[in-house]
């Protein structure tokens, strides 16, 4: 499974890039607003740090506006993926950008039917929102599994990008359900390291090593 980090904070991205775990980045208008910085400058800086796809979302909701904004964004760097909403105009814009050899992340997916439409127009990524479905008592992980079955049935190449990840358990569950990618808040990625038995075992090893009085160096 590929790991994308869901943030517009460049320091978080640099930290995770240094671990070797990071395969890409997703951003959205809310994350950029939180950073307080110029949108295009943020995307350019992220693309300099990360070799993998960097999702940059259009603000327009109509086809012409999405195409105009996307054409600006895709010129920032070759690894920009234009992020469009799963609407009729968004799907039309997806086809336009795919016809122009640009990666597209179709976002705000909440049903298997929507995911099927995105694959039909050649989306690079489809972003089903697990957490938001869970919030309204619908099983978000079931949607990942359904999309996986549909895509495998017809050999669609669109990658399933599990989004709205709320916990470390969400990540492993999405992997088990067949997601190709998970876009994860930096705080959740850090929680994936943690396990009390790891901490306990390491503390015992450190104590025993000190008791030997030895030094490796």
Just list the catalytic residues.
Answer: 83
CA-nearest of 185, 129, 182, 179 to 158 is: 179
- Taking the alpha carbons at both ends of the chain, their separation in whole angstroms is 37
Q: What single DSSP character describes residue 158?
A: P
State both tokens at 171: 């990540």
State both tokens at 110: 């909440």
CB atoms within 10 A of CB 49: 15
> Given CA atoms 182, 114, 156, 80 in this order, what sign does their dihedral have?
negative
Q: 111-147 b/e with 16+ CB inside 10 Å = b?
A: ebebbbbbbebbbbbbbbbbeebbeeeeebbebbbbb
CA-nearest of 94, 101, 29 to 66 is: 94
CA-nearest of 138, 157, 27, 153 to 80 is: 27
CA-nearest of 138, 136, 103 to 118 is: 103
Q: For helices 88-99 and 63-73, what crossing angle results, to 10°? A: 40
């Amino acid at each position: 499974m590929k790991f994308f980090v869901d943030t517009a904070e460049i320091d978080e991205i640099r930290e995770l890039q240094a671990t070797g775990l990071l395969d890409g980045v997703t951003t959205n208008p809310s994350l950029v607003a939180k950073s307080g910085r110029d949108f295009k400058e943020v995307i350019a800086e992220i693309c300099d740090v990360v070799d993998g796809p960097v999702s940059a979302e259009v603000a327009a909701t109509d086809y012409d506006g999405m195409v105009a904004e996307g054409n600006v964004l895709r010129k920032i760097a070759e690894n920009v993926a234009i992020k469009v909403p799963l609407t009729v105009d968004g799907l039309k814009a997806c086809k336009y950008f795919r016809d122009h050899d640009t990666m597209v992340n179709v976002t705000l997916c909440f049903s298997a039917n929507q995911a099927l439409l995105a694959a039909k127009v050649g989306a690079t990524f489809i972003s089903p929102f697990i957490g938001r479905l869970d919030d309204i008592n619908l099983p978000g992980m079931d949607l990942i599994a359904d999309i996986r079955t549909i895509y495998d049935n017809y050999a669609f190449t669109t990658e399933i990008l599990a989004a709205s990840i709320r916990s470390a358990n969400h990540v492993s569950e999405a992997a088990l359900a067949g997601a190709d990618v998970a876009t994860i808040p930096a705080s959740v990625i850090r929680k994936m390291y943690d396990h009390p038995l790891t901490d306990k075992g390491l503390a015992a090893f450190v104590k025993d090593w000190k008791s030997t009085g030895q030094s490796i160096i």
